[in-house]
Amino acid sequence: MNVTLHVCTTCRAGEPIEDGAPRPGAQLHAALTEAGAPEGVRIVPVECLSACSQGASVALSAPGKWTYVYGRLRKEDSADILAGAAAYAATDDGLVPWRERPVIFRKQSLARIPPLELPE
């Protein structure tokens, strides 16, 4: 249980939102939690991943692994996101072979960051 799937819940995904209506980010978070996290993955809501022009967005991170940020996601993508999170959780370094990544992960990566290294 050391992989975190952060989900931006404040994201408007570039859409006008009526007062009180759920935001696309919150809808995505709800769909992911309803579907249920795969083994080894925690779904954690976060206010703003600063990817507002490319929202809704999520980030996958874990100690010792590359971090990945994905954008332009909709609640309909929940199953693919969770499949991608499970594949990520199964790796040692976060690098899932290209062909095993969901298409949305291949095409909608916003950034990846190397694992944190302690100074020598």
Here the tokens at position 113 are 């960051």
**Which of 15, 17, 36, 48 forms a contact with a copy of itself (CB under 8 A)?**
48
Q: How far apart are CA 71 and CA 74, in angstroms?
A: 9
Q: Does 2 bind a copy of itself (CB under 8 A)?
A: yes
Tell me whether residue 19 or residue 29 sits nearer to a copy of itself (CB atom).
29
Contact between 86 and 39 under an 8 Å Cβ cutoff? The reply is: yes
Q: Examine residue 90 and tell whether it contacts a copy of itself (CB under 8 A).
A: no
* Dist CA 118 CA 120 (whole Å): 6
Kindly state whether residue 1 participates in binding a copy of itself, applying the rule CB under 8 A: yes
Q: Which residue stretches of the chain are H helix?
A: 24-35, 78-89, 103-107
Please report, as ranges, the residues that interact with a copy of itself according to CB under 8 A: 1-2, 4, 6, 42, 44, 46, 48-51, 54, 57, 59, 61-63, 67-69, 71, 109-114, 116-119
